Amino acid sequence: MGLHFPQTRLRDLAQKMSTLAREAGFEDLDHYLFQLMAVPLSQEQLRALSAALTIGETYFMRDPKSYRVLEEQVLPALIASRRRGGRTLKIWSAGCSTGEEPYSIAIILSRLLQDLPEWKITLLGTDINEEALERARRGVYGKWSFRNAPEWLMEYFTPLGDGHFEVIPRIRQMVHFSQLNLAVDAGSALTAGADIIFCRNVMLYFHAEQIEKTVARFHAALKQGGWLFVGPTEVDHQRLRSFSCHYFEGALLLRKGEPRRKALRPSVPAPTVPAAAAHTAQAKGSQADAPPCGPASQQADPLPESVERARTAYRAGDYQEAARLALSAPHLPDCLALAARSYANLGLYQEAREQCEKALLLERLDVRTHYLLSMILEQLGDDAGAEASLKRALYLDHDYLLAYFALGNLCRKRGELREAEQSFGNALRLLQRHDPAEVLPEAEGITAGMLAQLIKGMIAGLNRR
């Protein structure tokens, strides 16, 4: 299945396999494991393993920034070109789990295409987990699948009266589901000729070599000029040669068939608090996705109304408005940092740098702002300045693991392999203090276990050079 369980997740793996052993009638786990490995897996065994070992966490409009780019930029251009030459579109949701992602895409298409019946739309959802696909085909979801979803989304569902909602027929008929193992085959006739592929939060659980193979298969499945949506930390962008990288206000896209150019985003956590982190924080009742405006000593005083509105605008993804409102309190360093984050999300890196530097003039000991400045400087091509900012952050906080991770990436990019491995090693050492399932602040919403797996893959890549 291509799933990789690092050392930090072996206990979790053992618990899941023990449950499967009992269900299969084995009292001894080792006996069960030996039987599994003795002969090729049966379809029933593969079904049981995929249901137990894959992670099916998903919900509607899970990554609003990616869906916004899809609705406002990628699909309008595709639709305009296809109106002139055959009204066809093919979109593949790889690793779709229980179907929320492909249904979200279908809803967006129905909003964009007033003449939808005149189009030939192929919208495919695939997953290795047959149980998840059965739920997807039913199209019935509980309230948990709608957390953080916009209110208008409910127009496309029929309430069933028991806390569940069913996808309306015209949307459900747009999506077809099929079982597919990404580790074995992602280039069949079923998936070939795709205009767009979504594969987000799937390859996080693959080994580095499996990620490379899967991305290559996606490249083969895409049409020339086709788009691949991936999570910002799932692939090593520096090693991609067959895609060009595009960064749209918080969403990373790879495009087939364009000349290779420098990615607009570094292969380290970006200077935003992206959607995945925002959703995790909101699910816990936190406001971590909108940095507080004003140091703790000033929080006791009532903040200007515009500052609260700046936070709200930032959480909603309206970064232009968030920056404007945050700058209404230029005496508060955290508000200047919020403006810098907002400008960075808009791709206005020079403006972001200016606000970040102003914030540091007011509060020179703010580790997060030094780290933010390093991300912005790397976007501007100033690797030396980015390194200096990271070292300042580490001088102020010797245990700031994201700074070690970012410094390792800078060294790797320059070919300084020993220094890169040392920085990555420091990050791994600090990650041991965290529960593998803990979501790390300011780290794209990924968990400590995921980041450790990513770093280990990078270290392995260094050793192969």
Length of the chain: 465
pLDDT at 297: 35
- pLDDT tens, position by position, for the chain (465 residues)? 777 777 777 888 888 888 888 888 888 888 888 888 877 777 778 778 877 777 666 888 888 888 989 998 899 989 988 887 788 999 999 989 899 999 999 999 999 998 899 999 999 999 888 888 999 999 999 988 898 788 899 999 999 988 899 999 999 999 999 988 887 765 566 788 899 999 887 787 787 778 888 888 898 899 999 999 987 666 665 556 678 888 776 677 889 875 443 333 333 333 333 333 333 233 333 333 455 554 433 333 445 677 888 888 887 777 888 899 999 888 888 899 999 988 888 888 899 999 999 999 998 889 999 999 998 998 888 889 999 999 999 988 988 989 999 999 888 888 888 888 999 999 999 998 888 878 787 665 677 887 888 788 788 877 766
Residue 312 CB contacts under 8 Å (≥ 6 apart), including other chains = 290
277 and 288 in contact (C-beta within 8 Å)? yes
CATH number for 64-256 (one of 3.30.2010.10, 3.40.50.1370, 3.30.70.360, 3.40.50.150): it is: 3.40.50.150
Q: What is the pTM of this model?
A: 0.53
Q: Are strands 243-248 and 251-256 parallel, antiparallel or unpaired?
A: antiparallel
pLDDT at 176: 95
Measured CA to CA, the distance from residue 258 to residue 6 in angstroms comes to 35
Residue 54 CB contacts under 8 Å (≥ 6 apart), including other chains = 1, 3, 97, 127, 128, 129, 132, 205
Q: In the structure encoding, which two tokens stand for residue 235, read together?
A: 């692939």
3-state secondary structure of 79: helix
Residue 128 CB contacts under 8 Å (≥ 6 apart), including other chains = 1, 50, 54, 95, 179, 180, 181, 182
414-464 pLDDT per residue, tens: 888 888 899 999 999 999 888 887 878 766 567 788 788 878 878 887 776
247-306 pLDDT per residue, tens: 776 677 889 875 443 333 333 333 333 333 333 233 333 333 455 554 433 333 445 677
pLDDT at 79: 92
pLDDT at 240: 65
Kindly tell me the burial class for residue 282, based on how many C-beta atoms sit within 10 Å of its own C-beta (0-12, 13-18, 19 or more): middle
Torsion of CA 229, 233, 239, 243, to 10 degrees: 10
As a whole number of Å, the end-to-end CA separation of the chain is 27
Tell me the chain's radius of gyration from C-alpha atoms.
23
153-171 CB burial, b ≥16 within 10 A, e <16: eeebbeeeeeeebebeeeb
In this structure, whether the domain defined by 275-464 belongs to CATH 1.25.40.10 is answered with: yes
Closest C-alpha among 242, 254, 139, 281 to residue 200? 254
How many CB atoms neighbour CB 310 within 10 A?
29
Task: Please report, for the chain, the start and end positions of each structural domain, with discontinuous segments joined by +.
Answer: 7-53, 64-256, 275-464
